[in-house]
Every structure is written in C-alpha cells, then in structure tokens.
Structure 1
Amino acid sequence: MTKKIIPVIMAGGKGTRLWPLSRAYAPKQFIQFVGDRTLFQATLARVSDETLYAPAVVITNEDFRFLAAEQAREMGISLSAILLEPMARNTAPAVAVAAAFVADRMGDDSILQVLASDHEIVSDARYDDAIRIARDTAIGGKLVTFGITPSEPATGYGYIEVGSQLETGAHAIRRFVEKPARDKAEAMLAAGNYVWNSGLFMFQARQVLDEMRSHAPLVVEAAVEAVERAVGDLDFLRLDAEAFAKSPDISVDYALMENTANGAVVPSTFTWSDMGSWDAVWKLGEQDEAGNVLSGNATSLNTTNSLIMSRHGHLAVQGLDGVAVIASEDAVYVGRLDDSQSVGHLVKQLAAGKSTFPLTQTHPTSYRPWGGYTSILTGDRFQVKRLFVSPGKKLSLQKHHHRAEHWICVKGTAEVTIGDEVSTLCENESVYIPQGEIHRLANPGKILLEMIEVQTGSYLGEDDIIRLVDEFGRQ
C-alpha cells in the first residue's frame, strides 16, 4: 500500500502585490478574492482527500499563526503541525525544515508535496493525473516539480525547458530560465517545449535532505538543528531561532533544483495562477457580458474588461476599460490591468512616506485568535473601535498603564471581569474600566459578540497592554 502524501503548505509570505487588500500583516493567502474561501483555505481543501493525503504540515510565522489555525478550524480540517519560522529565510530553509520534521516524525521515506498557500488551482482530472505522475516519480527517488503549459508569453514567471520523457510520464529537466523579456517568452512559447515554473514540488523527505547536504549543506544543517531544538507552544511548534538564523536566505530553486541531476518535471495543463497581480485575479474571476469582474459593493456603467472590488463603501465605476479599481476600508487603488505587475513599486513609494507607511502594513480591521477589532475613529487622546468576539472565546486578563476604556454591548452577551468582580453585559448596556484596572472580556454565548470600545488616555498604542493570563500563550 502506497503511503499517503504529506502536504507541506508554505504560508509565511508577506506579499503586497495585491495592495490595498493584501498587506504586510494581512497577506493575500488569508484573503478571500474569488469564491467563498481564502487562498489558504482553498489550498487546504485541495489536499483534504484522506485516501490520498495525510494531515498537512503548515509553515508560517508568529504574525500569522492564529490566522492559519483559525482558518483551518473553520473548515474542520486537522493539521499535522504548524511550524513557526522565527524569521524569513525563503523557500529552501522552509522545505528543509519540513523534510527534517517529517523524516523525524513520520519516516524518512515519506512523500512530501510542497505547496504555496497563495496559488489558485483548479483541482480537476488533469490536476489529479499530475499528482499521480509526480507521486510515482518521487517514489522512484526523483525531485519533482510541476510545470504549467503556458497560455501566453508571460514575463512574470520563470520557465523550465522540458527534456526527455521518463517511464512514469514525468520528464527530465534540461534547464531553468529566469523571468524572460517579452521576445524570449514569445520564442519559448513558439518552441513548445517550455513550461511555467509553478513552484510546486514533490519528493521523498530522505531524498531532498540528502540532495541538500550535497548542494546546500548550510541550509539543511540549520534546518535539522532548528527542528531538533524546537519548542511546542499550544498548537504550534516554534523552530529554534538561533539555529534557523544560520541558514542562508535562498530559494529551493537556486539551492537545489537548478543544481541537482536528479530533478524531474511534470508538464501539466491544469488551471494555475500564482495570484501575483490584479490582472491574474481578473482572469480567474467570473466575468460578466462586458468582461468585468465585480466583487463586493460595486457597480459599473459603460465599463469593460475591468476588475472592480470593494470591501467597504460602494464603488461605482463609469466609462473605463481594462482597469483595476480596488477599495479596502482605508485606501483605493486605480490602475490599468496590463500594468498591475507594477503595484509593488507603488507600495514601496507608500512605505517610504511616514503618513502612508501604515497603509502598507495593516488594515483597520485586525484579527486575533479570539475574534478581532476594527478601528473606527482616532483623535487626540481618544480612539473608537468595534470589537468582535467569537462564541466561547475570551480576551486575555489584562491592564493598561495609559488608558481607560468604555465598553458598550451592541450585539450578543458579554461576560466582563473588572478587578475581582464578574458581571454580564447585555445589548445596550455599558461599563467603564478605569486606567490601570485588571479586566477581561469574554463571549459566553453562541452568537458573535460585538462591542463598541472607546479608549481615552495619553497613549493608545496596542503595545500598552500587560497580559496577566492568556489562553493563547501571548505575552
């Protein structure tokens, strides 16, 4: 009986190419663009067939750990582990860590399928065939990558030149090609023996570790040590920071795939996108008769071939063609779809400005393991927030040195702790928490609790919080 494939989902990237929805601390993998799931949740669903897959291993970082855990919980999907990287070190260290972890816990002959959490893929018969071929090839000792048959001379992807066919149906790799200029991309498309480099892989844990010892020894040494010295924390495994920091910052393509003589590629025709631009989102969306993709609170008139998305106020677009108009809670992006690969340059400009830097980092709405909050209004010595607490969840027992708080219950029932007293707060009732007083908010009910919080004081930053007791292990 063939062992089940162990999915390894890399979910630590802080992409901003889909700004203003995707930001450094609210990246695209945890955002819903098309369909009713986030890209991370769609990736989980893709590897949820228990006849083929074991529970997934997720690799992410401190900032996203609760997002990953909560989005898996929402789908009722169990995970083998959530590994926390102490710092960003590219894909080669992530793959080495996953291989070392799986080899130690599940056997070094385990087959790993490495997936990015922010790709959009249609799981149809073509995808299933590619997975079967890759698994058979990996069992034979090859390091397998997936190549996507190009549909256009794209310059935003790397390419792989396909070599001779192997017995399993995979092919040898002749060479990797960096993101090409337009004329070279057109030539490769015409040649017919080139595929897009998808960044998806499959291999045995033992095989990838052995190959890395030959081609990237510092990467694998750091990864093995980081796993050996890892510490459990609730549902997470924290990799050792000192050991992990020794790893070079390098991609798995540069560290391994471009150097090994043991690589293979599975040319594939399934629908795939790395969701790296608004143009890619538009191509994958459900277009109306005018070629428009509308999402959220959006209306168009005399507009064609455009992407119009709003996550807040109503967005009305008139008389335009081939544009992306994207509205978040606090920013609007307008640009041509055929130039959407350049959004990153705009984000760098925003990040360089003191007043616009926050727009590249977080949204007014921030998510926490207990729910989250939306910043509604900020002024001199006051701030108004909407808190939302999931059923059965509670905030930490805490106090603030520099602010007092007023809580108003607008939906649900709240359990409020102030000092030594615990009381119940119903809709249209309020309570005052003096500066420096120990307090806690909990939702004992079965529906979402919503509160309006008014903060007053000399300093209102999120770091003015002393957690005394926290069920999520935060300091």
Structure 2
Amino acid sequence: MSNKIVPVIMAGGKGTRLWPLSRAAAAKQFIKFVGDQTLYQNTLDRVSDTALYEAPLVITNEEFRFLAAEQAREVDIALSGLVLEPIARNTAAAVAVAAIVVAEQFGEDAIIQILASDHEIKADKTYWDCVKTARSAAEAGKLVTFGIKPTEPATGYGYIEMGKELPAGGNTVARFVEKPAEDAAKEMLKSGNYYWNSGMFVFSAKQILAELEKNAPEVIEAARAAVSKAASDLDFIRLDKDAFSESPNISIDYAVMEKTRNAAVVPSPIVWSDLGSWDAIWKLGDKDAEGNVISGNATLVNTTNSLVMSRNSHMAVQGMDGIAVIASEDAVYVGKLDESQQVGDLVKLLKSSKKTEQLTELHPTSLRPWGGYTSLINGDRFQVKRIFVSPEKKLSLQKHHHRAEHWIVVKGVAEVTIDDKVTLLHENQSIYIPQGSVHRLGNPGKIRLELIEIQTGSYLGEDDIIRLVDEFGRS
C-alpha cells in the first residue's frame, strides 16, 4: 500500500461554455486562457509534490490522448497511467475505473484524490490544510468532498448543507441541494451553513469500490469488465468499448454521494472556480486600474470592468462597461459579462445551422502528438496552413492521392523525406511535395519547427492521408 495520495485527474470533458476558444474538439482544460500554462497543466502542478503524491492517473478520451500526454511532458510530470474512455459516461464510471486501476497499482487502502482538470485553484496554505483534513477523514472511512465557501448566491452550482463535526476532521453532510433558484441561493448564502459542491473528492479505493457495489452495481460491473478487457497501446490504457458502454450515464454525486451514509464535507475557504463562464475568467484575472482583464492584442478606451482576449487580431474597444470580447482565429464573441452563463444557448443556435455548425465543433488550430497546425486560408482547390512541429518529433510517413504540397520553413530546421531522398531545410528555404509521393516531415532540432504549407489539388480533406509508418500508432 502507498502512504501517499494517488491523484486522479478527470480530463475528458468537452465543453463549449467558453466559446469561441473552447469547442467540442478544443476542450478548455487544454487551453491557455491567462498565464503560460493550461488549466490541465496547472492541475498537474498541484499534485507534483512527490513527498505527498504518487504520480497522477489521468482519465481522458481517445481524441485528447496525445494532448494530455504531451502537456504532461511539457511540465515534466510523469504519469502513473493514462486511461482512455471509449465513450462519454459521466463521472461515476470514470471514478469506478480509476478506483479499480488505483487498487491494482497501489493497493485497496490507497487514498485517492479526484480532481477536475479544468478548475482554477489557489494552492496556498489554506488549500493544503483542507487536503490534509480530507485525507484524515478518508482514512477514517469517509467519502470526502470539498465544500467551497460561497462568495455570492450563484445558481450554477450544487450546494451542500453542512452537518455535525467529525472526530477525524470535516463534517457530516446534512444534504445535497441541486442547483437552486436565485431566492433559495440567497437564503443559503445568508445562513452560512451551505457550501458549493466543488466536484473534488478524497476517499480510499476500498471504500469507494464498496459504496459503488452497494449503491451503483451496474456502474462498477461495467467498469470492472472494461478494465479487465482493456488493451495497452503505447502509454495508454484503452478501456473495452462494449463493456464500458453498459455503464449508466450518471455522476458520482448521484450514484454514491447522495446515497451513502459515509459522506463528509471539508469546508474550504479557498480561491476556487470551475471557470464555467467568461465572467469567471474575468473575476480571477489580473485587472488593470480600470478593472479590465486583457489577454493578447488590444487597445481599450473609456472601457471598464471588461474582459478582452484575442488570439490574433488587434481588438479596439471603446466606451464599454462589463462586457466580454473574445476573438479566436475564426470567430468573435461579444456579450455582457453578467450574461455569459448563457453562452451555451448561443452555441446551440450556431450548432443548429449548417453554415455555423463547424464553429462549435472544430477549432482552426488542431493539436497533434507531434505539434499541430492552424488553418489560415481556405479557397477553391487550395488552402494554407501554419504547421508547427515539436523538437525531435516526426509526422507519419505518408502520401496523398489528391493533393500536392509546398512547404516554406519560417523557423527552425526541417528534415524532409520525399520518396528515397532526405533534405534538410533551413529558414526561408522551401520544397515541393508532388501528389502521390511518399513523404515525411521531421524536426531534428532543439527548437520548435514552424513552416507554411500550401496545399493544392482536387480534394484537400484530412482523410486523404495514407499513413505508412507512424511512431504514434496511427498507421
């Protein structure tokens, strides 16, 4: 048995509440909003103390597998495992799988901390004191959740009513309250005995498995089958799809926490946000003298208490108060900060039209295990992309039936294979890849390779890639 906490990071969610930066294929946990790291990387940092934590176990999905692995590598965090969910099944199934894997690797008495990958938390002394209390209560057999001290009558969170104190630390849970109406939220805030349900948990593998057996037998049965039939693929654990699909699509709160007699809450007066709206991003951001949070290229005049973020274009904002202006490479959102919780309704409207549906699904910048690319221009029989390749990485050896490509190096050194010839290209040099030729792009250097790719041909879809050799197992 390990005497350290085993952190389990949930990193499979696909949200659109922070559109246009987050989309179905560009989840917010892997995006840099403010600062040099993504939310996922910040979460990895919080569990990097090897005196307290074992290497983290990450639960994600097929689409994010290389992204999760690469971003962990960027911050030099080794993972104990990276489990791939074949289909979305909410948090109960994910927690069940995690508990089974942790019990196998570290023993049934191992203490698990469940963490969302897309929350912002200030890891100060108060936070670590709460973790210590939660661990103590979990070692005494409790299923512990962190209750965040509310700062406003928010209606977007579930609430927890605190009960009596427990000898090992924390308090019993009197009851869980679903997301309330505003009047009810105001009353709960006034009482001082209610806390936001953070979605973070601490418990032993043995205890949560027993509670799942008792309260959600279909969930644990499906999870056990999915793990027993799982396949290893590179550094990933692929759960069996048929078995995992049999799990009910329910949360761990509904499956266990609201039913067990062993629930406990640690009141946590910490700086925390689930960053579920642009308003939340603004509240946690570094504000200038006028109360504005600015990221990227922007000029503000007579503008106060606003959030302005731009990936490329220079945003000029004048005479505004309390608004969000968010510009991605292909879309701009403008709205009142206090109405930003309703961005999801706007996304549904965009999704309902064929003309705008793609804006909710795909992002112009696509990340790959070797780096990624950004679509710059799409025209009739041609398109232009900016390709970036991480140091010492290679794309697959491949060919295309319907297009030719021109590559122009703008930064770094490119190793280009075309049929039997290998060429090294430096900045400002270019090369032509004929249609149908077998080719490969690699970065042999120590800095990131960047190049401009111009594609020409009758069909330019991403499915016109015939992979012959691929170090990431995609051929």
Q: Same fold (TM over 0.5)?
A: yes
Aligned partner letter, 1:134: A
Match of 1:193 in 2: 193
SS at match of 1:76: coil
Match of 1:10 in 2: 10
For residues 418-440 of structure 1, what are the alpha-carbon distances to aligned partners after superposition, in whole Å with 9 as ceiling and x for unaligned?
11221222222222222221110
Aligned partner letter, 1:84: L
Match of 1:124 in 2: 124
SS at match of 1:335: strand
Query: 5 Å matches for 1:97-112?
Result: 97-112=97-112
Aligned partner letter, 2:196: W
Aligned partner letter, 2:54: A
Cα offset, 1:447, TM superposition: 1.8
| TM-score calculated relative to the size of structure 2 | 0.98
Name the CA distance, whole Å, in 1 between partners of 2:434 and 2:290.
57
Counterpart check, 1:459 vs 2:459: yes
Match of 1:95 in 2: 95
Counterpart check, 1:216 vs 2:216: yes
For residues 81-108 of structure 1, what are the alpha-carbon distances to aligned partners after superposition, in whole Å with 9 as ceiling and x for unaligned?
1100001000000000000111112111
Name the CA distance, whole Å, in 2 between partners of 1:376 and 1:36.
24
Cα offset, 1:2, TM superposition: 7.4
Bigger CA drift: 408-417 or 140-149?
408-417
Name the CA distance, whole Å, in 1 between partners of 2:111 and 2:201.
10
For residues 432-461 of structure 1, what are the alpha-carbon distances to aligned partners after superposition, in whole Å with 9 as ceiling and x for unaligned?
222221110111112221221111111111
Query: 5 Å matches for 1:256-405?
Result: 256-405=256-405
Name the CA distance, whole Å, in 2 between partners of 1:468 and 1:123.
46
Partners of 2:212 and 2:220 within 8 A in 1: yes
SS at match of 2:155: coil
Q: For the aligned residues, what is the CA RMSD?
A: 1.1
Name the CA distance, whole Å, in 2 between partners of 1:67 and 1:395.
15
Aligned partner letter, 2:349: Q
Aligned partner letter, 2:309: M
SS at match of 1:359: helix
Match of 1:64 in 2: 64
For residues 166-206 of structure 1, what are the alpha-carbon distances to aligned partners after superposition, in whole Å with 9 as ceiling and x for unaligned?
01221001111011010000011111110000000000111
Match of 1:474 in 2: 474
Name the CA distance, whole Å, in 2 between partners of 1:442 and 1:281.
37
SS at match of 1:70: helix
For residues 193-226 of structure 1, what are the alpha-carbon distances to aligned partners after superposition, in whole Å with 9 as ceiling and x for unaligned?
1000000000011110110011100100111111
Match of 2:86 in 1: 86
Bigger CA drift: 112-121 or 401-410?
401-410
- Structure 1: any 5+ residue segments left out of the alignment? none
Match of 1:160 in 2: 160
For residues 285-338 of structure 1, what are the alpha-carbon distances to aligned partners after superposition, in whole Å with 9 as ceiling and x for unaligned?
011111111111112111111111111111111101111111111111000011
Name the CA distance, whole Å, in 1 between partners of 2:190 and 2:41.
36
Partners of 2:136 and 2:169 within 8 A in 1: no
Partners of 2:122 and 2:271 within 8 A in 1: yes
Partners of 2:86 and 2:239 within 8 A in 1: yes
Name the CA distance, whole Å, in 2 between partners of 1:244 and 1:259.
23
Match of 1:20 in 2: 20
Counterpart check, 1:77 vs 2:77: yes
Aligned partner letter, 2:29: Q
Cα offset, 1:273, TM superposition: 0.3
Counterpart check, 1:35 vs 2:35: yes
Aligned partner letter, 1:420: D
Cα offset, 1:44, TM superposition: 0.5
SS at match of 2:313: strand
Cα offset, 1:260, TM superposition: 0.6
For residues 250-276 of structure 1, what are the alpha-carbon distances to aligned partners after superposition, in whole Å with 9 as ceiling and x for unaligned?
000011100111111111101110000
Aligned partner letter, 2:358: P
SS at match of 1:68: helix
Cα offset, 1:12, TM superposition: 0.4
Partners of 2:2 and 2:110 within 8 A in 1: no
Aligned partner letter, 1:311: R
Partners of 2:2 and 2:107 within 8 A in 1: no
Q: Percent identity?
A: 69
SS at match of 2:174: strand
Aligned partner letter, 1:68: A
Cα offset, 1:227, TM superposition: 1.0
Match of 2:243 in 1: 243
Partners of 2:25 and 2:362 within 8 A in 1: yes
For residues 348-368 of structure 1, what are the alpha-carbon distances to aligned partners after superposition, in whole Å with 9 as ceiling and x for unaligned?
111111121111112211111
Name the CA distance, whole Å, in 1 between partners of 2:15 and 2:5.
28
Name the CA distance, whole Å, in 1 between partners of 2:244 and 2:401.
36
Match of 1:426 in 2: 426
SS at match of 1:313: coil
Match of 1:226 in 2: 226
Partners of 2:171 and 2:266 within 8 A in 1: yes
Aligned partner letter, 2:171: H
Counterpart check, 1:139 vs 2:108: no
Aligned partner letter, 2:45: A
Name the CA distance, whole Å, in 1 between partners of 2:338 and 2:429.
52
Match of 1:173 in 2: 173
Name the CA distance, whole Å, in 2 between partners of 1:98 and 1:347.
32
Name the CA distance, whole Å, in 2 between partners of 1:429 and 1:168.
67
Cα offset, 1:469, TM superposition: 0.5
Cα offset, 1:78, TM superposition: 0.5
Name the CA distance, whole Å, in 2 between partners of 1:338 and 1:431.
51
For residues 13-48 of structure 1, what are the alpha-carbon distances to aligned partners after superposition, in whole Å with 9 as ceiling and x for unaligned?
001000111111111101112222110011001111
Match of 1:45 in 2: 45
Name the CA distance, whole Å, in 1 between partners of 2:332 and 2:205.
45
- Structure 2: any 5+ residue segments left out of the alignment? none
